Every structure is written in structure tokens, then in C-alpha cells.
Amino acid sequence: MRVPLSWLKEYVDIVISPEELADRLTLAGMEVTAIDYVGAEAPPNSPWAPDLNGPVPPDHIPWDAERVLVGELIEVTQHPNADRLTVPVVGYGDGRSIAVVTGAPNIKVGMQGQKVALALSGAKLVDGHSDTRKWVTLKPTKLRGVASEGMVCSELELGLSDEHEGIMFLPDDAPVGTPLRDYLGDVVLNIDLTPNLSRALSIVGVAREVAALTEQPLKLPEPHAVAEGAPIEGRAQVTVTDPNDCPRFAIGLIEGITVGPSPAWMQQRLRLAGMRPISNVVDVSNYVMLEWGQPTHAFDADLVVDRHLIVRRAAAGETLRTLDNQDRKLSPAHIVVADPSGPESLAGVMGGLETEVTTTTRNILLEAAIWNPQQIRRTAQAFKLPSEASRRFERGIDPELPPRALRRGLALMREVAGGTVAQGIVDVYAQPWQQPRLELTSAEVRRLLGIDLSAAQIADMLTRLGFECEVGVDSVLVLVPSYRLDVSIAADLVEEVVRLYGYDRLPTTRLADELPPQYTDEQQLGENFVKDTLAACGLQEVITYSLTNLATVATFDGTQPDGSDYLQLENPLAPERAYLRRSILPELAQALAMNLRERPRVALFELGRVFEPQPGEVLPCEPQRLAIVLAGQRKPLSWHEADEGLLDYFDLKGVLETLLSRLRIADTVSFQPADDRRFHPGRSAYLVTTGEASLGVVGELHPDVRDRLGLNVSRAVAAELDFDALLDLWAEPRYQTIYRQPVVYQDIAVVAPITVAAEQARNLIRSTAGALLESVELFDVYTGPPIPEGQRSLAFRMSFRAPDRTLSDSEINKIREKIIRRLQFELGATTRT
């Protein structure tokens, strides 16, 4: 919301600097994000002062008080040597005048008395003749042999807009010789308003806040339109079919207007507030919206059949050509303002072309209404037509405002476009506003804010904000004004109190109660633990979309999935986000492919939910899954180390073994050969618990999957695990004494059929060795001569330790012989010499 201070001062006296006012508003919850000095000079130490020393002028520039003045055309003659140039003589007070040369098409020979913006030699302006925005400092010059000692300025050269088709004329009452900054300069606050601050989407709304914060009186005259025409009754009518769609709809009538440009003062205010002037009728509608916060819409009354406006839902198949000359296909989900012949306006969003105000328009029906906020938001989004009007309707508008806005609009229209205002208005108010009554106690303020305020102090603050208050002994009975739609409970009133009291003045207090019992969120704790562990392994966490599409799933799985197996959104934001995922890997694999195009090594993981439909249930099952993808170089290339190749299955297996070890469940989980078409045969495994429950799959991606994904590496590995099952297995830490006795190491190499998994042999060694075995690790695998074909050599290193003594060779040898016998008997393995 852009708020020119000159406009704001009409409703409240500004007794503090713009910088201090910005601070006050920001601390009260209305953040001022910028202050624009338009023609005016910013204070030297202002944080909002524009950079005037750079090569590119800022959006708004200051005007030199001695060199940019209000001038008056004394005479305009034709340039003797150029048909397209004229030579105006411009007076600027005290009998002073200069001749300038200009090619502005709106300066005509013979003009006299018009007020203009005159820049003298030495003035620093925006270069209006350059293709790029840059500074220019005026100097006396000659154009086609005629001396030009200054310039009559366009809006572009003054930094007001991009308009450069002609020079800017000033109102007739502009005082000649006055510095232009004193006459036209302004300061504009840019306020960032949250959705609950709809009351401040107007000059009047901001004035209420400023008056309350600075304790200045609010100057808010009741709008009045001089109505000299015949009564509107019987000459215009309104029908509202559903009050839930339109709680209030009012129209006024003005006849005999002339459509043309709006006056300079109105155009200047609209520009400062961020709106483009169009015509006097449209500008009045926008002016009232900015001033009071009530959007209005002007219909050409002669094009409305029977001057009868009907508020209804659109019929299926109806169309409306809107003001942007686009045909909009309507449905019963949309509210329209129609006449007996069909839709004439998309309610609260955009008017229709058929009843548009044009230069031939003479009679106006001016509408001001209250619409259902949710309905307006849906319509604006459906047609992608956000506007200043729909922005206000979506957030809610004072239900008592439409008659005021109509009177103000009709009065302004009469002033700038002529015409006669009909007596009265048509006001269909099917759902009258009911004023809320709330009670606020001093104890409640103390409980929520930690400060002691009397009922009288509370009432004073709320009264300054426009609330009606009745003070009791230690409480205040509050009547909420109609423009405060955001206040419905006592806590809302407390928020208003603290805004005026000042958040920065709140004391630091301790909690006046015992802390509630602290409960450990095991789920959150487990998630953080796993994430930290994987990050420590060198992986990066990513978050992919929970929404996917069947093509992405098919790319990874290799077969076209059945859409009925997935939950589908009824109204997806995009076709590629239409289904809830059942696996994380398809989207994570896409992220892998994209990242591999930019870097040589990618190691990603994601912890998130998948969505599995449950037969007979409305809501899906939402288990958590942990997915990992690795691809690319194992280590960064280095001149002093040989290339160690690409990341493979064993790198991923190492990451998972580290995770299982940190979760203290490594002994209860094993890797078993997998049969999954997404993974490479013989290079994939299922993670299985001792109870034969599957935890997920891990392995190298099948070459076909790799090709479909477009991976630019010859090997990529992935895993997807049941995270909930992992957490269920997560074991509590066990602490044991650090033994003083030394470790005894024994190596054993066995030749076993190639079908015997190393993990199977390792588990058999562990179970046979008993409590004296601390660890057993596979350190060598060998195939080839002299090992028979179909067999391989597996070498394990075992570490033994007793808590109470040093183990002897005889004890270790007995355990070793027992292990060898069992390996031979159960696995058909023989020791290798």
C-alpha cells in the first residue's frame, strides 16, 4: 500500500518526521518497507534516502529548490528554423522570464497563461531523450540557431513516470515562481500489510492508525453528494438472488456527465499511490477505493437493460467478455452482476466490456458492494485476474461502507465530470451487520502481556482506535466498529492494546507458572539422529515433491503404473503434480539425474512420507520412508592419488552398515540377495531382520533404469527403507567396562562354494565363537587359481578378549577348531592353507 503523506494529511495532522512515523507504524504491525521522496529532499541521515551519486537515477529524484520552479507561459512562437520546434517564453515570478526551445507536441503556438514545470540551467534531471535512464545537467545551449536557457519538463524528466509524449501542465492555481518541490513534492510510505490488516488498505484506514499512534484527532468528514436530480427510485433497480454471495449491494445514479481526463491533482495522487490515470470516471472509482478502501464499479447506465442489475450465479456455459477484451467461460461457481440480457460484470474481479464507460457515456450507474471473500478469491484465482479490488474483497470490507463510498464517488464524479446526481441510492442490505460486544479485563491484559493497566487506560487506547468503550471497575465493555472485521475475541483487543502501548516497551518477565512436563518426541529424535548420521557419512539431505505423475514413476519402475493404485488430486496445480507418491525413489532419482549434469559426485538422501491407499478408507496410510541415491566419483580427482573409480554397491552398503551400527541394530539385520527389476541382478539385496521382516531394498540401479533416467554415469546405486520399522528396532545404548586385558587376533581363510554368502559365514563364526569373540570382519575375497572353479576364498579376522584374564593360545585354538568344523559341516567350507 503506497500512502502519499500529502493525501494522508487531509485526515490527520502529521506531527513527526516521515522516518519516525515509519518506525511507529512498523512497531505497530504495519511494516514500512520504503519511503519514496518524490521531488522532496530526504534528510541527510535518513536510511531511506535515495542514491543520487550513481550513474542511474533512482525511481524518484529531488528537485532543486532554486532551479526547478513553477512557470507560466507568457507566449509561444514558432521556431524560425524548424517546423516541429516552438519557442515558449516562460515567466517564473518577480518579472523574470526565459526563452526555451521545445519539441513537445502539446505546446502550441499562441498558448498563454498555462502553468508548467520550468527547469533552469544547472538543474539535474532524468535525461528524457536517452534510450537508457541516466542523469542530465541542464546547460544553456542553442537549438537550430535559437538560444535555449532552460527546459519545460515532462513527467519523465522529473522522475514522476515514463510519460514523455509532452510536457507536464500544472493546475491553473499553481503559484508562479514557487519551487516545484514545495508545490508538487511529496513523501510516500510503502507499507507491507498482512492479510488481517485489510482495514489499512486505504488512506482513511492508515489515517486511523496514525491518529491513534500519535494521539492526534482524526479528521473524517462524512461524504456528501449534492443531489439535484430526480429520485433514483423507479429509475434503477437491484435484485440479489443469494445474500450469502452478496450481503450488500448499493448503486447510485449520475446523469449528464462528460468523460475526459481527470484533473491534474487527482492524476498526481493516483500516480503516487501506484495507479495509472485513465479517465475521470475510472479515476474517481480508483480514487475512492484508495481513499476509503471500498472498490466501486461504473456501468454505462444506458447500456444496462432496464437499468436493472441482478446479482446471481452464472449459468453453465454462459460467457462474459471482460474489460481486457477476453471471453471468459463461466460456471455456477462464479458470481456475476447481470442485467436481464446476461452477465455484465465478474463480481468483485473485473467489469464487462458491454457496459464499459467510454467517451460517449453520459449516464453512470455506480456500484458499491460487499462480496463473499472466499468466492471472490476463488474466482480471481480461477481466471488469473488478481486486482486491487479483488485484493480488498478477499480480505473483507467494512459492511457499513458502501453508502459512504457511493456518496464520495458521486460527489467526485460531479466535480470532475459534471452531471446531475439522482436523489437517494438503491441499497439492498439483506444481511445487516451485527455489532460485536466484548469484555476485556485488566487481569486478562496482565495475564497475556505481563503489564498492569487500569480499565481507564485500556479504554483510552481502544477509543483512540475507534472502539466504543464503557469503563467498569476492572473491565471494559467494548463495542467493535464495523471496519474492524479482524476483532472477534478478547485476545484481539489485547493485541490492539499492546500495539498502542508498544511491543518495544513490554518488560522482560518470567513465566508465572511451572514449566509443563517435558516429553521426548521419539519420532523426531530418531529422524534427527538418522539425518545427522547420514550427513556425517557425506550425504546431503533433499526434499522432493510429495506429488508426482505416472510418467515419472514409469521411468523408474519400467512399467506403466495403474493410476487407481495412487491417490489423485482433484485440482492439481500442474499436471506433473497430480498423484501422491507411493515411493520416494522416482522423484529422488530425477534429482540425482539433474545434479549429475552439474557435478561429478552426488550423494543424496530424503526422509519423508509416502501415501498408500487403504481399501474402504478415505484417508491413506502414510508410512515414512528413507531413500538414498549415490553416483559419480568415489573421491575428488587428485594428482597424488589414483582414480578410485565410481561409487558402487559396497559404498552404499557401507553407509547403511554405519547407520545400522549407530542405531545399534547391526546384529539383527542382514543383507540377502534381492530380485527386483529396478536393480541390477547380483548387485542388490534386501535388508531383512532376524525375524525375516523386510526393511527395504538396496542395490545398483538396473542399466535400463539408468538409461531411462538419462544418467551420465555407468553406475548408480539406490536404497529405500521402511523408516518406521528401523525406528522400532532402534536399541537403547548399552554401556560396558573398558577391559584392561589385551585383544587376541586370529585370521581364518576358508574355501566355500560361491553360492555361500560371506555374511552367512560371518554369522556362523559369530554364533560359534561365543562371548569371547569381540568382532569378526571380512578382509579378503579371492577367486582364481588355485581355488577350484565354482568356489571362492573368504578370509576373516577375528578378535577375542576375556573380561577377567588374558586368553591363552590353547583357548583360542579350541574355539578356532570348533568354528572350522561347523563351517565344514554346515557350509561345505574347508580351511585354506
Given the C-alpha cell 556362523, which residue does it identify? Answer: 764
pLDDT digits (tens, 9 = 90+) for 511-550: 777 888 888 888 999 999 999 999 999 999 999 999 999 9
pLDDT digits (tens, 9 = 90+) for 152-185: 999 999 998 888 888 999 998 899 999 999 999 9
Confidence of residue 670 (pLDDT cuts 50, 70, 90): confident
pLDDT digits (tens, 9 = 90+) for 131-141: 899 999 999 98
pLDDT digits (tens, 9 = 90+) for 636-669: 777 777 767 899 999 999 999 999 999 999 888 8
pLDDT digits (tens, 9 = 90+) for 540-590: 999 999 999 999 999 999 899 998 899 999 888 888 899 999 999 999 999
Confidence of residue 405 (pLDDT cuts 50, 70, 90): very high
Share of the chain above pLDDT 90, in %: 79
Instruction: State the pTM of this model.
Output: 0.69
Residue from 554, 604, 619 nearest 583 by CA: 554
pLDDT digits (tens, 9 = 90+) for 228-241: 999 999 999 999 99
Please say if the pLDDT value at position 261 is more than 80.
Answer: yes
At residue 162, the pLDDT reads 85
As a whole number, mean pLDDT of residues 469-489 equals 95
Calpha distance 746→741 (Å, rounded)? 16
Stated as kind and residue range, the H or E segment containing 299 is strand 296-300
Average pLDDT along the chain: 92
**First-to-final CA distance of the chain:** 87
Q: What are phi and psi of 89, to 5 degrees?
A: -100, 120
At residue 23, the pLDDT reads 94
Confidence of residue 609 (pLDDT cuts 50, 70, 90): very high
Please say if the pLDDT value at position 41 is more than 80.
Answer: yes
At residue 16, the pLDDT reads 94
Tabulate helix, strand, coil % of the chain (nearest 5). 30, 30, 45
Which residues are 309's β-sheet partners? 238
Q: What are phi and psi of 9, to 5 degrees?
A: -65, -15
Please say if the pLDDT value at position 740 is more than 80.
Answer: yes
Calpha distance 157→127 (Å, rounded)? 6
Calpha distance 495→474 (Å, rounded)? 18
Calpha distance 30→210 (Å, rounded)? 11
At residue 512, the pLDDT reads 72
Return the minimum-mean-pLDDT range out of 481-490, 593-602, 684-693.
Answer: 684-693
Residue from 353, 363, 251 nearest 310 by CA: 251
Mapped onto helix, strand or coil, the DSSP state of residue 167 is coil
- Give just the sign of the alpha carbon dihedral 41, 44, 50, 51: positive
Burial class (CB in 10 A: 0-12, 13-18, 19+), 94: exposed
Confidence of residue 702 (pLDDT cuts 50, 70, 90): very high
Q: Are the C-beta atoms of residues 230 and 256 closer than 8 Å to each other?
A: no
Angle, vertex CA 247, rays to CA 245 and CA 250, nearest 5: 115
Amino acid of residue 46: S
Residue from 631, 625, 627, 607 nearest 706 by CA: 631
| Peptide bond connecting 786 to the previous residue in cis, omega within 30 degrees of 0 | yes
Stated as kind and residue range, the H or E segment containing 607 is strand 601-609
Confidence of residue 776 (pLDDT cuts 50, 70, 90): very high
As a whole number, mean pLDDT of residues 396-418 equals 96
Could you please report the per-residue DSSP string of 715-763? -EEEEEEEHHHHHHHPPPP-------SPPEEEEEEEEEETTS-HHHHHH
* Other beta carbons less than 10 A from residue 145's beta carbon: 10
At residue 511, the pLDDT reads 74
Question: Residues near 273 by Cβ (< 8 Å), separated by ≥ 6?
Answer: 2, 3, 4, 7, 188, 290
At residue 164, the pLDDT reads 85
Angle, vertex CA 631, rays to CA 627 and CA 634, nearest 5: 120
At residue 1, the pLDDT reads 92
As a whole number, mean pLDDT of residues 246-269 equals 95
Confidence of residue 634 (pLDDT cuts 50, 70, 90): confident
At residue 203, the pLDDT reads 97
